Structure 1
Amino acid sequence: MKRQRSEAAAEMAATSEIRSAIEELSLMAVNCGGDVQKQTSGRVPLKPFLSICNLLIQVLDKIGPTMAVLRQDMHQNIERLERFHDSDPSAYCDVVEILKKEVSEGRAKKGPTCSKSFVWLTRSLDFSLSLVQLLLVDLGRNMDEAVEESYTATLKPWHGWISSAAYKVALKLLPDSQTLVNILKVKDQDHEKLKEEMQSLIALLTPVLEQNKEILKIYGLDKLKST
């Protein structure tokens, strides 16, 4: 019995955020009835989606206070969606149902809404995915260049000058590539195994984010900008 507990503890300790995200994304694909590589169900189960976002927050926590701006923004958006879900869990277990309600009431774009939270959480994950894709090609890549490229492709088009200035300062404070790699992998994991997991994450997360973007386009939320 003690040996079983010891093995279970060791297994938990060897679980990285990437591995946990792979598990969540695989489960999301199964629950949606979609192919793992081709997620076309038109549904976004709220809890699994927020679990993936929370895993990104855990990575930001490991990076430290330099990522406080991005972390706070994500945390507020997650909490907003959770509160809406808690108001009627049976009705709002899917993000699309929340969007439908806010859009039909004409308030999706007014104030701090769940619709906006979904927009920015999707974009934050999109930025993270872009960064992982660049690191997969070269784990030793210059982080300033990688962050700038990912930011320009994903977040910059939607940021006003205030948000752009704040985020660019925060993103410049990311650790070097080796430190980030050590944060992403589990203890004693070699680079090739980490790359395999990064590839699996990319393959699973890409169709989910593409679907999210299509949903936002359908509800007229894909062009929302910050100040």
Structure 2
Amino acid sequence: MKRRREAEVVASEIRSAIEELSLLAVNLKTGGTAVGDVHDQTSAHVPLKPFISLCNLLIQVLDKIGPTMAVLRQDVHHNIQRLENFHESDPSKYWDVVEILKKEVNEGKAKKGHTCSKSFVWLTRSLDFILALLQLLAKDFGRNMEQAVEESYTITLKPWHGWISSAAYRVALKLVPDTQTLLNILKVKDEDDDMLKEEIQNLISLLTPVLEQNKDILRTYGLDKLKST
């Protein structure tokens, strides 16, 4: 019974993530900046509240995957807190993540220490990892989960991790649940594989353009090549 209640909570979080992504997608359509237009990303906007809500919702899904995601979850939590704290210093001015990036870049602080710029970099990369994992699962629900997580990590996070971070993830991979266990957690009552796949594909279609814009913004401000230890 407890497992089923947890599954229903996760499913509602997935749908909430779709709702938050819909808000961000509307911004892409109305903000006047085309995804991929690197030269015009200084006029792009990333509303902080919907973006943070999205990160919180997806990380709660990671919690249900199990302890293998603990390292990623901790990083995301700290990065969310950093952005939220900065936003609260002047909510009317820093409602937009891009405004925060501009301030730190202009002051020469973006790449020094624990900054909001770095937090945005790693939140975007973490979401990119989730996107890659969802894409692999949507293609084949029978795919080996450990292999899917490792492949997703290799193409999204590993290029930016130093040996310490990479070692932590290698250990975490040993705790990945099997694919069927994860699918059962993600399903709501009476939901079959086809319904779940459709929901995941909907999430993918909304998350992809949002992350593409984020990456363009990072390139514009020279933040896209940052690495960890």
Q: Same fold (TM over 0.5)?
A: yes
Partner residue of 2:131? 129
Partner residue of 1:167? 169
The number of aligned residues is 214
2:62 corresponds, among 60, 63, 71, to 60
Give the whole-Å Cα distance in 1 for the aligned partners of 2:182 and 2:30: 32
Partner residue of 1:199? 201
Following superposition, the deviation at residue 31 of structure 1 comes to: 4.4
Answer yes or no: is the 8 Å Cα contact 1:142–1:176 preserved in 2.
Answer: yes
- Residue 104 (str. 1) matches residue 77 (str. 2): no
Partner residue of 2:21? 25
Following superposition, the deviation at residue 14 of structure 1 comes to: 8.8
Give the whole-Å Cα distance in 2 for the aligned partners of 1:13 and 1:109: 37
Partner residue of 2:190? 188
Following superposition, the deviation at residue 26 of structure 1 comes to: 0.8
- Residue 145 (str. 1) matches residue 141 (str. 2): no
The answer to which of 71-80 and 142-151 deviates more is 142-151
Q: Which runs of 5+ in 1 are unaligned?
A: 1-11
Partner residue of 2:40? none
Answer yes or no: is the 8 Å Cα contact 2:67–2:172 preserved in 1.
Answer: no
The answer to which of 91-100 and 181-190 deviates more is 181-190
Partner residue of 2:49? 47
1:89 corresponds, among 88, 91, 96, to 91
Higher relative contact order (CA 8 A, sep 6+): 2
Answer yes or no: is the 8 Å Cα contact 2:35–2:216 preserved in 1.
Answer: no
Give the whole-Å Cα distance in 2 for the aligned partners of 1:129 and 1:98: 25
Give the whole-Å Cα distance in 1 for the aligned partners of 2:93 and 2:123: 21
Task: Name the aligned partner's letter for residue 23 of structure 1.
Answer: E
- Residue 219 (str. 1) matches residue 215 (str. 2): no
Following superposition, the deviation at residue 20 of structure 1 comes to: 1.1
Partner residue of 2:4? none
Give the whole-Å Cα distance in 1 for the aligned partners of 2:150 and 2:132: 11
- Give me the identity figure in percent: 77
> 1:52-92: CA deviations, max 9, x gaps?
10011211222333322111111000000000000000000
Give the whole-Å Cα distance in 1 for the aligned partners of 2:173 and 2:49: 27
Answer yes or no: is the 8 Å Cα contact 1:123–1:154 preserved in 2.
Answer: yes
User: Any idea what SS the aligned residue of 1:172 has?
Assistant: helix
Instruction: Name segments (4+ residues, structure 1) moved above 4 Å.
Output: 12-15, 38-41
Give the whole-Å Cα distance in 2 for the aligned partners of 1:133 and 1:32: 22
> 1:144-188: CA deviations, max 9, x gaps?
211111111100100000011112222332211111112222222
Partner residue of 1:158? 160
Q: Which runs of 5+ in 2 are unaligned?
A: 1-7, 37-42
Task: Name the aligned partner's letter for residue 174 of structure 1.
Answer: V
CA RMSD of aligned residues (A): 1.9
Q: TM-score, normalised by structure 2?
A: 0.87
Distance 1:54 1:24, change over 3 A: same
Give the whole-Å Cα distance in 2 for the aligned partners of 1:153 and 1:14: 26
Following superposition, the deviation at residue 32 of structure 1 comes to: 4.9
Following superposition, the deviation at residue 43 of structure 1 comes to: 1.3
